[in-house]
Every structure is written in structure tokens, then in C-alpha cells.
Amino acid sequence: MVKELKVSGFLGLTVMMSVGMYQNVLNATGEGVPGWLIGGHAHLGVLSIIAIVLGVAIPTLGMADRYRTLVTWTFIPGQWGLPLVPWLAVGGGLEVLHPTAFLSGGLLIVSMLVLTWQAAVAPEAEPGERGDPESIVADD
């Protein structure tokens, strides 16, 4: 499940950087960047970085598969939903989508609460332990 988080994170950063380039074009042509575009850009960037961090950190917590799945599939829709709602609702004129921002935010909160709980109950690693072998980065 953590591979999906990493892929979503790197894809999100790619989209965020592309939006940043578009914002630069808007500024360079004197049009200016609308606030709704800036907010979505910032949220997607931060949430994508968190997705990558989660993809690396989750294996070290020794979480059961059901919790990994829960965190993955509550985080990813939240990661994309939070920035896409203003882009589509304001920028795309689909105002009916505004309430779905609460759903996206709620999904992110659920994933963070599960991770908080797992971090609190996970046994502390002994000195020299590296956690789940799945999380070990190749060092060859």
C-alpha cells in the first residue's frame, strides 16, 4: 500500500510544479494569479510531500495491512480532493463541488488520526533497529 502513496506524492508534485509554471505565465503576462489557484497549488504541494513521507514512514510503524490500507485510501483522495475542489468549483464554475472539500478534509483527518494512534502504540525500536525490512532503502 505504501507504493501508492509514493506514486501519488510524486505525481502530485509534478502536477503542482506544472501549475506553478502556469502561474508564472499568468504573472509574466500581467494577468496575475487568482487566489483559488494559489491555494490549490500550495495544498497539493504540501500534501504530496506528506504522501511521500508516509510512504517511507508507514513501514517503520509495523502497521497491520488493514490500517495501511485505511491510511492509504483515506489520504490519497484527500490529497487530490482538497486542491481540486477550488480549482473545479471556482476555476471551473462547478460551485456544487464546494461541500466536497469537507469530505476531502475529513478523509485526511481520518488518515492522520489512524497514524497518530499507530505511532502512539507502536513499540519503540531498539538502538540499531531499522524497522520493517520493506522500509529499508537500498545502500549498495
| Consecutive H or E run containing 130 | none
- pLDDT value of residue 140: 41
DSSP structure class, residue 122: S
For 27, the 3-state DSSP assignment is helix
Report which of residues 53 and 123 the model is more confident about. Answer: 53
Mean pLDDT in the chain? 87
Q: Rounded to the nearest 5 degrees, what angle is found at the Cα of 81, between the Cα atoms of 45 and 57? A: 55
Whole-angstrom Cα distance, residue 33 to residue 31?
7
pTM for this predicted structure: 0.81
Check pLDDT > 80 for residue 28.
Answer: yes
pLDDT in tens, 83-139: 999 899 988 889 999 999 999 999 999 999 999 999 898 877 665 555 555 544 544
pLDDT in tens, 13-25: 999 999 999 999 9
